[in-house]
Structures are given as structure tokens and as C-alpha cells.
Structure 1
Amino acid sequence: MNVDRFRLSLAGAGIAVMTAMAAAPALAQSDLPAGVSALLDDAAAEGTVSLFVSSDARTAEDEARLEEAIANDLGIDIDIRLVGGAPDPVYVQQLVQQHNAGVGVPVDLIVTVPTLLGVLNEAGAIAATDWAALDANPEEVAEQVHGLFVAEFARPIFYNTNLLKPDEVPTSIEELLSEKWAGRIVTAALPDVFSPWAIGLGEDKTLEMVETLLVDLRAGIAPAPAAIRTLVESGEYPIGFGIRISGDQIANNSPVAYAPIKAPLVPRFAGVLEQSSNKNAAALVAWWLSQTENGQTLSAEVLEWPRHTTPGTDLYELSKLTDGVYSAPAEWWMTKGVEAGNAVARLLQDI
């Protein structure tokens, strides 16, 4: 796929997801796994699920769309409350402190990266949900952290289409790290922006990449990953490193597009909080988001939690543009991913 065609595909991604959602049939009650059907009465009695959505802003309309779809698919009413807060690492530490203090937690369900789910699980703050009993895909269950795969995010490279023509855009990490782009790239100096690249590059080459970007190429440093989007869209920098193009940018046809450089994906896993009083409803919502067509579509459309395998999403288009993506199982994130993150953190302190 050439870059011009990709821009058109990306601009239509939101429409494609909405069309897929409208076309997906409601689940028949008789088609539900026995373990899921067994949860319905207790989940309906609990009636509420508070879901952490990181620092993203969500609306009552977003909650209503999820509630309507769950009612159509599962035949029960669940009051969905989308709870925003601090970035995931900070919020997870708050949950650990609340758990250790024995106070009630503000959410029933969290969807985050495996390493942070591991922090919660090590503190005893994640319930030992039996996802296998719900007939979840075994390849999407992270038993070591009691998590269920829901979605992904990427750490790609993107660019301002008003400033760069498609044939001017770097097509490999090697091209990106050339002196040509000195002072023209913006990123965020955070370990988790760079450590996922160790999936494809290995830890040593990832560290070399970070040092080249920040020292040799004097990359601009955004205060947070989300700010990279604004700095590139505004034209202050032609190239951004380390965050997806946002749903709003796609909807507004903003002058941004992905560079054709294979990028790493970071999985998001759902975990039910141990202190939740709505464990059945939380497990049911997590299962629905993860294991059903409508759930996956609404995860991408409403929560901006896509999978690269879901047609119509920007990650799907990115994977086609770059002929694949870098990905790794949960076990990698709990071992080599942690090691890579620690190594990048040490390097950032020294730079």
C-alpha cells in the first residue's frame, strides 16, 4: 500500500469501524458459553461496572453506547462508569496503596499493560478470575497476572503530511536515525515509549536507538506522549516518535499519517480488582470486550482500544502499511520487557 492510499484508508477507519459495528449481529443467548451464562444473574444483580480508562476523557454518551450494546448482546442491564485519572503507572500505584490500606477502590475493572497488571497482582489487588471457565481464547489469557487480552496500542512513527511528501518520509529505523532528521523529531523521554522496540530490535539496539535520537539527533522532548500528536499536527516538528494517531485526528482528517516503519505493539489486559464488589459484572464486561465481535468493535470505536487484527482500525491499516508489526506474548512483557524498560530508564537518567 503506498502512503497516499494509506492516508485515505486511515481517514476512513472510523467510518469502517462504525459500519462493522452496525453490521455485527447481536449475540444469541443460546450461543453464550456456559460459564458466561452462569454469570448473568449475579452480574445483573450487581448492576454496575466502573472501568478505568486512563487519562483519556470519556462521556456519558460513550457509557450509553457500551450499555446498549451489552444489553443487546447479553440481555442484562449494566451501568457502565468510565473512570479517568492519572496515567496508568501513577494510577496503579494509587490502587496498590488503597488495597494495602484496606480501603475501597474506585474501579472494578482495569485494562492496562501486563507489567502494570503484574504490579497489582503482586500486591494481591487483582482477583483470580478463571477466564478459562468463560471459554476465553487460551492464547489471550495471561494466567500469571489473571489477565485477559483486550486491545493493543502502538509506539509508531508518524509525520506531518503538509511538511513532508510521501517519498521524503523515512522508511526504516536506520533512515530515521540519519543526521538528516536532527532537530526534526519529537518524542517523550519515558521508558515505555522506547522499551517496546526491544521486541523487534533487541535490547542493545534499542538503547543505541534511544541514545542516537536524544543525543545525536537532539530530538525534541514532549511533556507527555499525547503532546507529541499536537506538536506534529501543528507543524512544530515534521516527525513524531512513540504514539498512535488519535481518533480525533483521524475524524478531523488532520495532516498526519504513519511512516512506513514496522512498529511495536503493546498489549492491554483486563484485570478484575480484588476489592471490587462487582466481580461478576466486571468479569462479564471484560469477557465481552475481549471475546465478542461487538465488544472488540466498541472497544476500538468508543474506548480507542483497537486490535491490529480488527479491520477498519488505524492499527490494522498500520500493519498493512508496514507489512506486519512487532508483537510479543504476555510472558515476554513480564520478563524481557521489564528488563528492557529498566535498561532504558537507566539510560534516560544518564543522558
Structure 2
Amino acid sequence: MMKKALIVPAAVLTAVLAACGSPTASGSDDGGASKVDSHAKEVFDKYNGMSGQERTDALVAAAEEEGELSIYTSNTDLDAIVDAFSDKYDIDVNVYRGNSESVLQRVLQEAKAGFAGVDLIETNSGELNILGKEGLFYPYEGEFRDAVRAEGQKEHWTADRFNVFVVASNTDLVKASELPTSIEGFADPKWKGRISMELGDVDWFSAMFTHFVEQGKTEAEVTEMFKAIATNAKVVKGHTVQAELLSAGEFGVGISMYSHSVQEGTEDGRPITWRPKGVAPIQPLVLRPNGAGLMGNAKHPAAALLFMDFLLTDGQQNIADEFRVGSVPVANDPLAGLDTIEVDENEMLNNQKKWDDLYAEVVQGGELAEE
């Protein structure tokens, strides 16, 4: 039995919020700054109300006059988009990159101190939801947001890409005809030692658990099903490592893998795929959006708005080049015709500990894989 060692963001987020406190409105006892700067609001409102070439031309002129943009991100693939943006426009982009928890902590600390250090945040959904709940974002509106998949049009922020959880297999080890039509089939003892789960996939687990309950199973039945699956599984920390181990034949199937990690391996000629020949992918796929939010106290609001527009237009090709699923559907949509479900963001925000504890209980029945 593996030790109960689940690393999840929820505990980190709770600690960060407790340590930093919430940003406060101007005039408060601790001297915190307003969450929305009056100039930023004026600029955002002006261009949010425009569309088409009129918006683009006016926004480019205003953004280039500002001449700067500050972005905080946890996305390691954002460099290509930033470079393309800088090549197209006369705007200097300053990027701070850390993991998603570091980005969150930095933003909350700056907000508490009344320091406007960043114009736009591009990171994971969990951290964006926290910042949105704290009232730090300003609405982003317009035709480019309207083009985003409905699952990516969040209350406080807008998705530019999706993490898509898929079932992937090593084609040298597992025939397509062997695969079940649902992950429920991996509870069969014949899969002992042949499958993998990821240590931190609480969001995927929550979505799939809810899906099976909605299909008519009791919560107790779903819990036992997942425990049976975990008993057969090698538990891996990290999706990149999981893709590497699947490629190396350490197991035959990964049941909650990122589609972009798998697709990159497929394109590189490794014997892995999430679209096995001759059969449909195991469904449903689980979607979790990641994206960006405009800071309400942005020093460079026009540049931030222009970058958001760019993310959802030209930037979508850069996202596709990294094998990721963009938030704007395209002609060769990789999700077309497939059954998808979404991670319930409110559920994860309000009941994270419940899912952390339950998933930790489930995966401790698996075998911790050696990296």
C-alpha cells in the first residue's frame, strides 16, 4: 500500500489566503488599494464596447502608446505567444513565470500591499477562480470572448486553452480491441499493474465521480469502483512523467492523461495514443479550462486588452502548435463528436478538501511508480 502523500493546490491556496489576507478597498484601515483603478476601468469600458476593425485599430494605437505590458503566468508555453505579440506590436512585454501557486501568492501579496505590479494573469483555473472571487479581475467583453467555447467563458476570466484528460495507451503493449469502452472496465483484475493514475488529478476525479453518480450509481458504488481501479494502478506524480513512463512501457494505459502530452509523443513517433485505431476514444473526456484575467488596477489596460484579443486569435495557432486544445473551436476541432464533461469550478472552489481527502483515500490503494 502506498503512503498517503497527495500534493494538491487546495492546502497551498488556503495557506496563502490566510497568510496574505484579502485585498481591500481604498479607505480601509490597513491602507489597501482599490481593486479597480478608475483609469483602467475607463479604458476597459471604452474598448469592451467596441468591435471589429474599429476596436482593433483604436486598441493598437492606445496599447502602443502605453508601450508596456506586465504578465504573470505559470504557462511554460506562453513564450511563443509573447514573442509573436511583441513582433506584431511595438510593446515591451515583461513576464514573471512561476508555478500556479507562486503566481497566486505574488498577486495576493501585491494586492494587499496596494501595489499594481501586473496587468494580466495567465494561469490555471483554480488560481484564476480564487483571484476572481477576491474581486481582482475586470470583465473582458467582445466578439473574441463570444467565440470561446461555452465552458471557457467564466464569470471573472476567459479560457485560452483547455487541459483535456484522456485515456491513453501504449500501442506496443495494449491492442485497441482490449480497451474497455469506459474507465469502469479498468476495475477488472486483469488490468492489475497495467494501468496508471496521476497523484494530483483531484479535478479529473471529481468530474468523473460526479458523472458516474449522474449515470445512476450511488456514491458508495462509485467510490468502490475507483478504489478497485486504483488497486490495479501504478500511481505517478506529474503528467509529463506519466507520458514518459507510458512511452517506455512501464504500464500499458494511463487513465487520466493530458491530451497534449500524449499527442506530442504520438507526433514524435512514440508508441502512445489517445485515439486508438479502429475504436472510439474512451469517453467522456474531462475538460478543465485555463486562461487569463484582466487586472482591475492594471497600469497598462489597453495593452492587457490587446493581449487578450491576441490570445484568442493569432495566439490560438501557437497553442495548437504545442498540441494543446485551444479555447476557440477550429475547423479540425480535436473534440468534435466526442463526449466531454467539465470540471465543476464552483464545486472545486467550495469543496476542495472533500475531494482532496476522497481522492487521497482512493489512490493510496495503488502502487507508487518509480520514476
When normalised by structure 1's length, the TM-score is: 0.71
C-alpha distance 31-121 of structure 1, shift in aligned 2 (>3 A)? closer
Deviations 1:179-231 (A, max 9, x none): 221222222222124223256334837645543332x32x2222223221111
Query: Is contact 1:43–1:278 with CA below 8 Å preserved after alignment?
Result: yes
> Deviation of residue 120 (structure 1)?
0.8
1-side partners of 2:339 and 2:145: how far apart? 24
Q: Which amino acid is the alignment partner of residue 344 of structure 2? A: W
Structure 1 stretches of at least 4 aligned residues deviating more than 6 Å after TM superposition: none
Q: Identify the match of residue 167 of structure 1 among 147, 171, 177.
A: 177
Matches within 5 A, 1:28-177: 32=52, 34-54=54-74, 56=76, 63-68=82-87, 71=88, 76-80=89-93, 83-86=96-99, 88-103=100-115, 105=117, 107-126=118-137, 128-132=138-142, 136-137=145-146, 139=150, 142=153, 144-145=155-156, 147-177=157-187
Q: Which amino acid is the alignment partner of residue 49 of structure 1? A: L
Which has a greater percent of strand? 2
1-side partners of 2:123 and 2:236: how far apart? 22
Question: Are 1:238 and 2:238 counterparts?
Answer: no
Could you tell me which residue of structure 1 aligns to residue 356 of structure 2? 345
Matches within 5 A, 1:283-294: 283-290=305-312, 292=313, 294=314
> Deviation of residue 334 (structure 1)?
3.5
SS at match of 2:326: coil
> What is the number of equivalent residue pairs in this alignment?
297
Q: Which amino acid is the alignment partner of residue 168 of structure 1? A: E
Q: Which amino acid is the alignment partner of residue 299 of structure 2? A: S
1-side partners of 2:222 and 2:291: how far apart? 24
Could you tell me which residue of structure 2 aligns to residue 257 of structure 1? 273
Matches within 5 A, 1:288-327: 288-290=310-312, 292=313, 294-301=314-321, 304=324, 306-307=326-327, 309-312=329-332, 316-317=333-334, 319-320=335-336, 323-327=337-341
> Deviation of residue 119 (structure 1)?
0.4
2-side partners of 1:89 and 1:270: how far apart? 15
Deviations 1:43-88 (A, max 9, x none): 11233334445252665x66433434xx2xxxx33344554321x2
Q: Identify the match of residue 333 of structure 1 among 344, 351, 362.
A: 344
C-alpha distance 342-278 of structure 1, shift in aligned 2 (>3 A)? same
Gaps in structure 1 of 5+ consecutive residues: 1-29
SS at match of 1:100: helix
2-side partners of 1:163 and 1:170: how far apart? 15
Q: Percent sequence identity over matched residues? A: 23
Q: Which amino acid is the alignment partner of residue 186 of structure 2? A: L
1-side partners of 2:170 and 2:351: how far apart? 30
Query: Is contact 1:200–1:264 with CA below 8 Å preserved after alignment?
Result: no
C-alpha distance 253-226 of structure 1, shift in aligned 2 (>3 A)? same
Deviations 1:282-337 (A, max 9, x none): 221112222x3x3322232258452483345xxx44x35xx413234xxx734234
Q: Which amino acid is the alignment partner of residue 56 of structure 1? A: T
When normalised by structure 2's length, the TM-score is: 0.68
Could you tell me which residue of structure 1 aligns to residue 206 of structure 2? 195
> Deviation of residue 99 (structure 1)?
2.3
Gaps in structure 2 of 5+ consecutive residues: 1-49, 276-280, 365-371
SS at match of 1:120: helix
> Deviation of residue 116 (structure 1)?
2.4
Matches within 5 A, 1:273-284: 273-284=295-306
2-side partners of 1:34 and 1:227: how far apart? 47
Of structures 1 and 2, the larger Rg is shown by: 2
Which has a greater percent of helix? 1
Moved more, 185-194 or 335-344: 335-344
